[in-house]
Structure 1
């Protein structure tokens, strides 16, 4: 993944022109936000505010509580009057569906998903990048924008999340080099590790135990588990606390790919996909199911409910 494949001068100059000509800017993170989309949003927010822009960070869905430990993450809003903005920027969002808002005119999309549908007026998409935060870092470096400690922490958060703590196959020399540069600039690595990987509530631990207890593997190596609303209630947990348990399912010996199906309060079943098999492309599978993602990780959703018996059944809503 060389820099020549990531940076294109005409696109970078267009990004700067769009930002320079706007005063009121919205930055949108994708639905069911993760560390990459949140980290990118915060990094851009910090810089744009520092140069006098009016900035609003927006996400249609509530973020997991532990992300609120990052500075200004509590200032995200779930909706806004989009007509007030001169520029709407989406970060780490592959399709208009993942915006969470209908008929939105996005001026600039910055993303790394191979499944990006080019829905914005201007699309800065580099599918070879390990994360969108990697792209945001490249933009900062190209224009010599200052990277403060909190900006470095936000960008490192994105790198950590989308590389699975640098364990996924999308981690290469440049990924580690950027992580090192961000650490040198003051990124709080231990804060990220503590919040993302070393802190769980007791109800969350109970919920994970229930999910792991239900795991089944098919004859062709598909590892499956489910989470119902009743599971969440009985454990006293939050639906958001299923986050990251799928990485444990992906460790199953003999498993080719894993699927976690989760009910939510709105009658939607959300599916998460993971694989460590280089011959399986989850991008195509996720897209087939109406979702999106990467070769090794994907997601989708559809109306319905889960009924558990000797076998797992999914019924229409």
Structure 2
């Protein structure tokens, strides 16, 4: 168990700005400055978002490996259990117990995404490393690169600035973050820099073939069954430009699925020809739903989700809604239709 009591920070190399307790103004820094800041501290806690995906997990573990390579104490933490499918690099980071001097979040756009277990750290985050344009600027310092398709692309640069050799499990972790958040490099957000980063990681030993097979071509029987049930709920709206599927508690139980089995399902309805907005409504409680949007270039998913307090990227975003399943569907269809009409 890691204590949330923190020792005074070293302040001799990076100027620390005092911030009003009621309103924190995040100071934006560069990759080099982030690297220098990380190297100034000896015990660092790395926060990942709840319902963790490959990017937040890859970044959390890669950063801890880099810090440990520098002789520091570092531990990744998450409100939810990290899925076993990532054991090929997570097993390289045994648990450490310490009192953190410095707290970092990776791939976290909003402190609400930390989950209940890590809520104690919401107002204690020193450095935020993120690639979401909707980031809430909650940390004391931050490096936010909305143009980066994955946080792992940014972190690869930061670790290189730290002067730490990237190899073995660290290379695998970073490549995992990069490939999962880009859909195996299929999304329009992928840039030339993304391919250069991927090439560098492969040169450093990342097992790209094995990782891509595990992430995109390997499914449990429960996941296959859940995909079948979810697609059976498919509904079309707005001249079939909107495709909506549901994942209910009953479906999860019938398939014998776990939360991680839902991760790639939101991409399925977007694959249908002619669909511009793919909506996945996932039940979290009796009247609580998590919505995942995937859109084509004509529609901004983050703007739709922002209307319900969510956010994300232009082509992939999420939000929550409280109500019945029917009310949730009606709300999301209305917002999606409005977005489509505005894009014309």
Report if the CA contact (8 A) 1:272-1:298 is conserved: yes
SS of the equivalent of 1:264 reads: strand
Aligned residue in 1 for 2:321: 302
Match of 1:191, SS state, is helix
Any gaps of 5 or more consecutive residues in structure 1?
1-8
Instruction: Tell me how far 1:265 sits from its aligned partner.
Output: 5.2
Secondary structure of 2:197's counterpart equals helix
Which stretches of structure 1, 4 residues or longer, exceed 6 Å deviation after superposition?
Answer: none
Query: Per-residue deviation at 1:305?
Result: 4.8
| 1:250 corresponds to 2:265 | no
Does structure 2 retain, via aligned residues, the 8 Å contact 1:31–1:99? Answer: yes
Where does residue 37 of structure 1 map in the other structure? 56
Residue 91 of structure 1 is matched in structure 2 by: 106
Write out per-residue CA displacement over residues 173-228 of structure 1, whole angstroms, 9 at most, x where no aligned residue: 22111111111110011221122112111122111101111111102521101011
- Structure 2 gap segments, 5+ residues each: 1-27, 332-344
Paired with 1:13 and 1:200, the residues of 2 have a C-alpha distance of 39
Partner of 1:293: 312
Structure 2 distance, partners of 1:312, 1:118, is 31
Aligned-pair CA distance for 1:260: 0.5
Q: RMSD of the TM alignment (CA)?
A: 2.5
Q: Tell me, yes or no, if the aligned pair for 1:42 and 1:72 is still in contact at 8 Å.
A: no
C-alpha change, 1:12 and 1:242, in structure 2 (3 Å) is closer
1:206 to 2:221 alignment = no
**Matched-pair contact (CA < 8 Å) for 1:270–1:302:** yes
Q: Could you tell me how far 1:289 is from its partner in structure 2?
A: 1.5
Q: After superposing the two structures, state which structure 1 stretch, 85-94 or 14-23, moved more.
A: 14-23
- Give the alignment's TM-score, normalised by structure 1: 0.87
> SS of the counterpart of 1:15?
helix
Kindly state the Cα deviation for residue 73 of structure 1 after the two structures are TM-superposed: 7.4
Deviates more, 1:122-131 or 1:63-72: 63-72
Counterpart of 1:55?
74
Query: Is 2:33 aligned against 1:14?
Result: yes
Selected match of 2:280 from 238, 248, 260 = 260
Q: Distance in 1 between matches of 2:32 and 2:236?
A: 50
Distance 1:145 1:69 in 2: 21
